[in-house]
Amino acid sequence: MHLPAILPWGAAEGFSKQMLLVLLSVVFIAVFFVLAARKQQLVPGKLQFAGEAAYGFVRNGIAKDIIGGRDFIKYVPLLFSLFFFILVNNIYGAIPVFQLPTFSHVGGAYVLAGLVYVTWIAIGVKKNGLRYFKLATVPSGVPWYILPIVIPIEIISNFVVRPVTHSLRLFATMLAGHLIVMIAGSGIEYLIMQENVLLKGTSILVLAGAIAMYMLEALIMVLQAYVFTLLTAIYIEGALHADSH
């Protein structure tokens, strides 16, 4: 599934559309929020209000609710960047000209999940020292004879499976949605090409289905950005309060 590279044009390797979209998303997000935040008026204008609502959603709706405490503000920049970076890159898939959710290419998802993985382990070690690995893998209140079973499960689920599911969840939903919309489009094209009028007419049904799938896909794009950020917040919270889990 390689889209043609832009530089050099049409080559399998090179500067692809996906890369251009990723860099564009950085520009969009940075420009919008810097413009929105710049005025700093006590009574916000429309742009500032929109920016504050978006920022407040991540700050209060995710960081404060999940991490809480007094130092949740330290993790707001990471969560905020993740949410809007993924959101914009997903929404590309629903915008006609761009038409490519960049995380349908697995590399980006690996990078972000990897960053989050390193981050929460670092937070856990910084907060609890090396004891953190014991806290994260040996659950308290479990009888000693179950521990040989529980500890490997905890190690696998926390340190091996977690980053994989974290990245693949985002990648797979984006790829699947992208494929479904593409297949529906190809199907419509194929049916319209047919000589048979009835087969031509059937393309309308496919179109209706495609529109429904498009709406669902748009919802999933937003939802996955939220889920990815929410899971990040939950991992960080778990690392911060490892001794009470």
Q: Which residues bind another protein (CB under 8 A)?
A: 1-2, 13-16, 18-19, 22-23, 25-26, 29-30, 33-34, 37-38, 40-42, 44, 48, 51-52, 55, 59, 73, 76-78, 80-81, 84-85, 102, 105-108, 110-112, 115, 168, 175, 182-183, 185-186, 189-190
- Of 157 and 186, which CB lies nearer to another protein in the complex structure? 186
- Of 136 and 174, which CB lies nearer to another protein in the complex structure? 174
> Shortest approach of another protein to residue 139 CB, angstroms?
31
Q: HSE, CB side, 13 Å, CA atoms: give it for residue 27.
A: 6
Tokens of 3: 């889209």
Q: HSE, CB side, 13 Å, CA atoms: give it for residue 158.
A: 23
Block residue for tokens 């806290």: 135
- Of 188 and 240, which CB lies nearer to another protein in the complex structure? 188
- Of 99 and 154, which CB lies nearer to another protein in the complex structure? 99
> Shortest approach of another protein to residue 102 CB, angstroms?
8
> Shortest approach of another protein to residue 100 CB, angstroms?
12
By the 8 A CB rule, do 202 and 196 touch? no
Return the exposure string of 177-186: e unless at least 16 CB atoms fall within 10 Å of the residue's CB, then b. Answer: bbebbeebee
Residues 6+ apart with CB under 8 A from 110: 167
